[in-house]
Structures are given as structure tokens and as C-alpha cells.
């Protein structure tokens, strides 16, 4: 995945349906967003509410629904180095193709929120080493994320990124740089596949995939775009239904019944139903 030429644009997904749509749209990889998981499972923010159990269960559903690589937001690994080792084993077994592992102090929060703290580089190195040892395939991508930019400054975050690459991380993610100037410095300073996290309304300015690639970023992540878009559409349709008592005015904003059935592959299951029909065999 990381060896392909050009930028790799990856959307965030949070359930099997959003994953299926991303695959059918043509994306070659996707990211299981932690914020999306917390928001859609519990209606709660990315504030340390989800556990390894919810992350693994969601990954299993998403990976079963698609045939392209799914990289999972593993937060801080939900414990110590042994917890990370177990998590990687279970995610790989569930069909995941990689993880993002961050160095925040638990309870973590979305990387573009205030009040973040990071653990020591030594403690994170233990977790990263456990993740690398636990994977059974080298094709399982491990992205080392640091949130040190917020609490220790950009230079300290870059130093962590360089060190994490030396430890064996496949890609490096410096979370929440605040300007294009900072992003260019990250690109110049770290010789590794880099992640740019594009959150609409977040701390990092949005740039095109082409420009980010020129700065040195390989993975262009849009983790919350689908969640934001679906939330916007849901608010609009429910407001219209509440006001008008019908959705007729917005029918052109909806997929049709047949279109939705195509997305969930109804015809495939009808064929299976006929194949296994007892009456057909008699």
C-alpha cells in the first residue's frame, strides 16, 4: 500500500455501510475512525469512552464488509505494551491491515481538541515495539502517531517521529500542525511515509492531496468527512420531516430504495436464497 506511487487518499469510515460505500466509490483503502466509532456507538465524543472491545468488534464488522485494506484507529492501545500486543493480534485476526497507535496519556481525546497530554517517549517505545512484534505479517501497517505538538512543541514532536521511525514504524503521524509552514518542516525533517490529517474545521489547514504529497506526505487522511456529511444530511431530512410531515421535498437528496438495495447487495442474497431453497431441490 505504502509503496504505490503518488498520494494515498483515505476516507474515514465507522460502520459496515459507510465502508461498503467507500469501497464502491473506488477507494483502495479506508480508516476506521475512533471518533466515528465513539459517536455512532454511543453518541459520545472522542474522549476516551471506547475500549479495545468496541474497536475490535467494529473492525470485524467493517473488515467483513469490504475487500480493501482497513487501517484501524487503535487510540493508545488501551493499556500497556502487553495490551497493545494483544490488540494487534486480535485486530489482525479480525482482518485489519494496520493500526494508528498514539502516544497520548489516557483518557485520550481527539487530536484536534484542547488539553492533550502525552506519555514519555520511553513508554511509547515499549508500546510501539510490542505492536511491531505482535503482527504476523509485515504488510500489517503500523503508523506511529504523536500528539506532542500541542504540549511540547513542533520540534519535540518531530524528534519523536524520527525516533519512532528508527524503532520500526511503517509511517509517521505528527498530529495537528497548525500551519502549512509547520507541515513543510515536518516533510523536510522526517524521512518516512507521513500522514496528513485533514479534519474540516480542525487545527490543521486543509490542502489538496497533490500539494500535501509535494510537502512529503504520503497518506492523506479525511477521517471525519463521511461522519460530518451523514450528520448534515440526517439533520436536514429530519428537520424537513418534522416541519412538513413528509420527505417529498427532499426526495432528490435521497438514494432510491433500489439504489440502496444494490449497495447492500440484495440480489446476491436472493441468488443464495434460491440456491439453498429446499423446494427447489425437491
The pLDDT > 70 percentage for the chain reads 99
Pair 86, 117 in one domain:
yes
Q: Summarize pLDDT for 37-46 with one digit per residue, the tens.
A: 999 999 999 9
Q: Does the residue 2 lie in any domain?
A: no
Residue where one domain finishes, among candidates 204, 230, 256:
230
CB 277 within 8 A of CB 271: no
- pLDDT above 90 for 282: no
140 lies in the same domain as 199: yes
Instruction: Flag whether pLDDT at 118 surpasses 80.
Output: yes
Statement to judge: residues 77 and 178 lie in one domain: yes
Same domain, 178 and 96: yes
Residues in the chain: 282
Whether 65 and 130 have beta carbons less than 8 Å apart is answered as no
Mark whether 198 and 261 lie in a shared domain: no
Residue at 140 is within a domain = yes
Flag whether 271 is in a domain. Answer: yes
| Cβ atoms of residues 217 and 183 within 8 Å | yes
- Does 44 lie in the same domain as 73? yes
Is the pLDDT confidence value at 54 over 60? yes
- Choose the final residue of a domain: 192, 209, 230: 230
Q: For residue 141, is it left (φ>0), alpha (ψ between -120 and 50) or beta? A: beta
User: Distances from the Cα of 203 to the Cαs of 33, 46, 103, 113, 242, in angstroms?
Assistant: 17, 16, 18, 8, 35
Which residue in 220, 206, 204 sits closest to 9, CA to CA? 220
Single pTM value for the model: 0.95
The reply to whether 195 and 271 lie within a common domain is no
Domain with 166, as residue range(s), is: 8-230
pLDDT at 280 over 90: no
How many domains does the chain fold into? 2
218 and 270, same domain (yes or no): no
Whether 13 contacts 25, CB under 8 Å: no
Residues 225 and 253 occupy one common structural domain = no
pLDDT at position 279, please? 62
Return the CATH number at 150.
3.20.20.60
Same structural domain, 30 and 97: yes
Domain membership flag for residue 235: no
Amino acid at each position: 500500500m505504502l509503496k504505490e506511487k503518488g498520494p494515498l487518499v483515505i476516507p474515514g469510515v465507522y460502520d459496515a455501510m459507510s465502508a461498503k460505500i467507500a469501497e464502491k466509490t473506488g477507494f483502495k483503502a479506508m480508516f476506521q475512525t475512533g471518533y466515528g466509532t465513539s459517536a455512532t456507538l454511543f453518541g459520545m465524543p472522542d474522549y476516551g469512552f471506547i475500549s479495545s472491545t468496541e474497536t475490535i468488534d467494529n473492525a470485524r464488522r467493517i473488515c467483513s464488509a469490504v475487500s480493501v485494506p482497513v487501517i484501524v484507529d487503535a487510540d493508545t492501545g488501551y493499556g500497556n505494551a502487553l495490551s497493545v500486543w494483544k490488540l494487534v493480534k486480535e485486530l489482525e485476526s479480525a482482518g485489519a491491515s494496520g493500526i494508528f497507535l498514539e502516544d497520548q496519556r489516557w483518557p485520550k481525546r481527539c487530536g484536534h481538541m484542547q488539553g492533550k497530554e502525552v506519555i514519555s517517549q520511553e513508554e511509547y517505545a515499549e508500546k510501539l515495539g510490542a505492536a511491531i512484534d505482535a503482527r504476523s505479517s509485515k504488510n500489517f501497517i503500523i503508523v506511529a502517531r504523536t500528539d506532542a505538538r500541542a504540549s511540547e512543541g513542533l520540534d519535540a514532536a518531530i524528534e519523536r517521529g524520527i525516533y519512532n521511525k528508527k524503532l520500526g514504524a511503517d509511517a509517521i503521524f505528527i498530529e495537528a500542525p497548525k500551519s502549512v509552514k509547520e507541515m513543510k518542516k515536518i516533510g523536510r525533517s522526517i524521512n518516512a511515509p507521513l500522514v496528513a490529517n485533514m479534519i474540516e474545521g480542525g487545527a490543521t489547514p486543509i490542502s489538496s492531496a497533490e500539494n500535501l504529497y509535494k510537502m512529503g506526505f504520503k497518506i492523506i487522511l479525511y477521517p471525519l468527512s463521511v461522519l460530518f456529511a451523514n450528520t448534515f444530511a440526517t439533520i436536514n431530512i429530519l428537520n424537513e420531516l418534522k416541519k412538513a410531515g413528509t420527505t417529498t421535498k427532499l426526495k432528490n437528496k435521497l438514494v432510491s430504495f433500489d439504489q440502496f438495495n444494490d449497495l447492500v447487495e440484495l440480489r446476491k442474497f436472493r441468488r443464495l436464497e434460491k440456491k439453498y431453497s429446499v423446494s427447489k431441490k425437491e
